[in-house]
Structure 1
């Protein structure tokens, strides 16, 4: 079996070497991204995020910040960064942290995108060189069918290899891109919720202060009378 693979690789011509490099690169990136997403999925803490929302709604900013601290959940990390810098610019802090998390989630996707385009082009290059090799013997006195068929085989092997790598890479690329889009939406939703709940919490605190100050004021009036 190994001999067949090596023999096919050699028959594909010199263009098979860059095709091999692209295939190894694609496999490495897919493996790295799969491990990253599995690890990220295990770090998600949706219940903890709900607790942060509840604390913000109650106006307890310190409790909310404490709940979001020391976590590896990317969404909670964005929330904590925003709460930790709310005194300067909450929105900017959320945007900066969100950008870092999204960039980390989309790491190496550009490499996969390049391979999806590059691999078929390398296969096409192999097709051209293979056909050129076959036509090199056409019209010559020592025309041999085996030499012509060798050039055709080179063209077909290179083309099929390039297309196979592109197909292999396209499926995980689309999957990882969808995961990045989903995480981006979750981070944006969390950031919006933090801004809305933080404002609501401020209003709740003000309302509670006003409610607590009314009885004291009335008691002072009744005492003076």
Structure 2
């Protein structure tokens, strides 16, 4: 078994970590733009303006207002208004719309969470292969010193790379999850207000 593990070249593990780091960075940038720039948290004025349209039964104005904004709450409100007057339960429409929006918000985040977990494990794999090579070099009499240092270098480099990838991935993953939760809470709150207003006679 040790021969099999020791046979894994250091460059192979390093290449995987580099690939994972590129994937992680891509997700961090894409989700950062989407969650921080595209989906901004609700402003009180926006909330009041939407509710004002609904209270005055200006549903077309409310639709136009929602379509100009990206917040998930407005997408859900749009679905509710469009379904108003039909025989479909508006609560079910709202729940389905919220689920779709949350799915969009969470896009790629499970992958980012996996990267934050897998990257240090890949680094650990490189550590193990490097140390096995070092111990084998130590047992040999010829070229012992150079082989020993090569194995130690491999172990340290892959460990460092794994941590360099994992730490920012874990930090941004947790931050983005909190952002998604905040957007979801706002969406749920606005949805309840919208359903309440539309349900009034």
Q: What corresponds to 1:151 in structure 2?
A: 151
Displacement of 1:185 in angstroms is 0.3
Range that drifts further, 49-58 or 132-141: 49-58
Q: What corresponds to 1:215 in structure 2?
A: none
Query: CA 1:194/1:188 → structure 2, altered by over 3 Å: closer, same or farther?
Result: same
Q: What corresponds to 1:28 in structure 2?
A: 26
Q: What corresponds to 2:109 in structure 1?
A: 109
Number of paired residues?
Answer: 188
Q: What corresponds to 1:91 in structure 2?
A: 91
Displacement of 1:98 in angstroms is 1.1
Q: What corresponds to 2:68 in structure 1?
A: 71
Q: Is the 8 A contact 2:122 2:162 kept in 1?
A: yes
Q: Distance in 2 between matches of 1:42 and 1:157?
A: 39
Alpha carbon RMSD of aligned pairs, Å?
2.1
Matched, 1:169 2:166: no
List per-residue Cα deviations over 1:76-121 (Å, max 9, x = no partner): 1111111211322211111111111111111100110110111011
Range that drifts further, 72-81 or 38-47: 38-47
Matched, 1:40 2:38: yes
After the TM superposition, which residues 168-187 of structure 1 pair with which residues of structure 2 at under 5 Å, given as runs? 168-187=168-187
Displacement of 1:141 in angstroms is 2.3
SS of equivalent to 2:138: coil
TM-score if structure 2 supplies the norm length?
0.85
Q: Distance in 2 between matches of 1:137 and 1:51?
A: 73
Q: What corresponds to 1:134 in structure 2?
A: 134
Displacement of 1:12 in angstroms is 5.2
Q: Distance in 2 between matches of 1:138 and 1:144?
A: 6
Q: Is the 8 A contact 1:71 1:77 kept in 2?
A: no
Structure 1: state its 5+ residue gaps: 1-10, 203-225
Larger relative CO (CA 8 A, sep 6+): 1 or 2?
2
Q: Distance in 2 between matches of 1:128 and 1:118?
A: 15
Q: Distance in 1 between matches of 2:46 and 2:63?
A: 7
Larger Rg: 1
TM-score if structure 1 supplies the norm length?
0.76
Q: Is the 8 A contact 1:75 1:187 kept in 2?
A: yes
Q: Distance in 1 between matches of 2:46 and 2:11?
A: 57
